[in-house]
Structure formats: structure tokens, C-alpha cells
Amino acid sequence: MEVGGDDPAILANAAYALAYFGEDIGAMIALVDRALALNPSFARGWHISGVLRVYAGQPDIAIEHAEISLRLSPRARVGWALFTIGAAHFYARRFNEAVPKLLLAMQEDPSLPNPYRYLAACYAHMGRFDEAREIFEQLQAVTAVAIPDLAYLRNAEHRELYLSGLRLAAGGAT
């Protein structure tokens, strides 16, 4: 970061990496906000800001920032932005709104495990257990890590919502 100075890409990418590995989430949000102040048209910066808001337990801001990233760069890794929006709707307990975003994210990149995880948890919390188990089985074909470490999620209630949904979807399959 010292060498990068005021390069918005370096600031945003550093904020993303450091937030994931447990640095102070408020400081990392401030860092990505600084990147966006330097370049308000930086689509990846808006996407990273959305991801960090998910980590921080701010789903509505996460959706807003991910949608800005999509408007600024409609073709760049759309699945990642849709996943972020789906995850944010999941944490806001708007499961019906999360499902289509997660399905689209899975369709764009079937090798990305997180949309499967969130979709399985969504279906489980919606009481759609057969679909939850089916998606969980698909997840297991994509990755050996069905239930990941969730330390990056700072909101304990969100962590438990996600874990309980995955456990229900697993139905003893883990």
C-alpha cells in the first residue's frame, strides 16, 4: 500500500484481502471508500465495497454498491456481482429475492462454490428441503469444502443463519 499510494485498485484490492483475513472491517471499508473517492467510476471498487458490506452485516448497502458496479461494467464478471446481491438478500432474509440472483450466478460460473452454498441455505430456510439437498449435492461435486470457515463474516447472526441453512441442506450429508 505504501508503494501504491493513491492507486484506487491497490487500495480496494488491499481492503478486500485484509478484510477477508480479519483486519478491522470498518478500517477496510474506509479504505475502499477512499478508493471510490479517488475514482467514483471504478466498477471493481464498487463491487469490493459491496462484498465488504456483506462481511460487515450491511446487506442493503451491499446490494446498492454491487448494483452500481454492474451499471458501471455490465459485462465484467456479472456472476460475482449477482452472487454478492444474492448473498445480501439472503442475510436480509429476503430468500425469494436471493434465489434468482444465486441461480444466475451459478449459471454464469458453475465452478464457483459460494452460490451453491447460499442457494442451498436459502432453500433450507424456505422449507424447500429436497431442493436444498439437491443443490448441496451439486456443491459437493464442485468442492470438497461444503461448509467453509466463516470468520470473515463479522455479524454473528448472519454467520449462524448461513451455517444453520447449510446444516439443514446437508441433512446429514457432511
How many domains in the chain? Answer: 1
Q: Is residue 2 part of a domain?
A: no
Residue 75 Cα to chain centre, angstroms: 18
Instruction: Express as a percent the part of the chain with pLDDT over 70.
Output: 95
Look up the CATH number of the domain holding residue 131.
Answer: 1.25.40.10
Structural domain for 143, as ranges: 8-170
What is the per-residue pLDDT across 94-111, written as a single tens digit (0 to 9) for each? 999 999 999 999 999 999
**What per-residue confidence (pLDDT) applies to 76?**
72
Residue 71 banded pLDDT, cuts 50, 70, 90: very high
69, 54 contact by CB (below 8 A): no
Q: What is the mean pLDDT of residues 39-44?
A: 96
Q: Is residue 137 part of a domain?
A: yes
What is the per-residue pLDDT across 10-19, written as a single tens digit (0 to 9) for each? 999 999 999 9
**What per-residue confidence (pLDDT) applies to 74?**
77
Q: How far apart are CA 1 and CA 106, in angstroms?
A: 34
